[in-house]
A and B are shown apart, each in its own frame.
Chain A
Amino acid sequence: MELFEITTEDIFTDDVVARLNDPAVGAVVTFVGVVRGTTNDREVRYLEYEAYPEMAEEQLRRIGEEIRERWETIREVAIIHRVGRLEIGEIIVVIALSAAHRAETFDALHYAIDRLKEIAPIWKKEVWENGAKWRSEGHGKRRDQ
Chain B
Amino acid sequence: MDNKQIRVRVKFFAAPREALGTEEIELEIATGSTVKDLIDLLKERHPVLEAYVRFINVAVNRVYVGMQTELHDGDEIACLPPVGGG
A: residues with CB less than 8 A from B are 33, 49-52, 54-56, 58, 81, 92-93, 113, 116-125, 134-142, 145
* Chain B residues within an 8 Å CB radius of A117: 83-86
Interface-forming stretch among B9-17, B27-35, B43-51? B9-17
Q: Which of A33, A58, A92, A122 sits near B83, CB closer than 8 Å? A: A122
Complex CA distance for A141 and B54, rounded to whole angstroms:
9
Q: Which of B57, B62, B81 sits near A134, CB closer than 8 Å? A: B81
Residue from B59, B66, B86 with most neighbouring chain A CB atoms (10 Å)? B86
Docked-complex contact B82 and A136, CB < 8 angstroms: yes
Can you spell out 15 A-B residue pairs with CB atoms less than 8 angstroms apart? A50-B17, A52-B11, A52-B80, A55-B78, A93-B86, A116-B86, A120-B85, A120-B86, A121-B13, A121-B78, A122-B83, A123-B15, A124-B85, A134-B81, A145-B57
Secondary structure of the B contact surface, majority rule: loop
Nearest CB in chain A to that of B55: its residue: A140
Docked-complex contact A58 and B13, CB < 8 angstroms: no
By Cβ-Cβ distance, the 3 closest A-B pairs, closest first, are A122-B85, A136-B82, A123-B14
How many B residues face the partner with a CB closer than 8 A? 20
Complex CA distance for A50 and B80, rounded to whole angstroms:
11
* Chain B residues within an 8 Å CB radius of A141: 55, 57
Docked-complex contact B84 and A124, CB < 8 angstroms: yes
Docked-complex contact A58 and B62, CB < 8 angstroms: yes
* Chain A residues within an 8 Å CB radius of B78: 52, 55, 121
Interface mask (B67-86 → A, CB under 8 Å = 1, otherwise 0): 00000000000101111111
Complex CA distance for A125 and B85, rounded to whole angstroms:
10
Complex CA distance for A125 and B14, rounded to whole angstroms:
8
Docked-complex contact B83 and A50, CB < 8 angstroms: no
Nearest CB in chain B: distance from A83 CB, A: 9
Nearest CB in chain A: distance from B82 CB, A: 3
Docked-complex contact B62 and A123, CB < 8 angstroms: no
Given contacts A33-B86, A50-B13, A134-B14, are A55 and B62 in contact (CB under 8 A)? Answer: yes
Complex CA distance for A54 and B62, rounded to whole angstroms:
8
* New A-B contacts (14) at CB < 8 Å, excluding given A52-B78, A123-B14, A139-B82: A51-B85, A52-B59, A54-B62, A81-B86, A92-B86, A117-B84, A118-B83, A119-B83, A123-B83, A124-B85, A134-B15, A136-B81, A137-B83, A145-B57
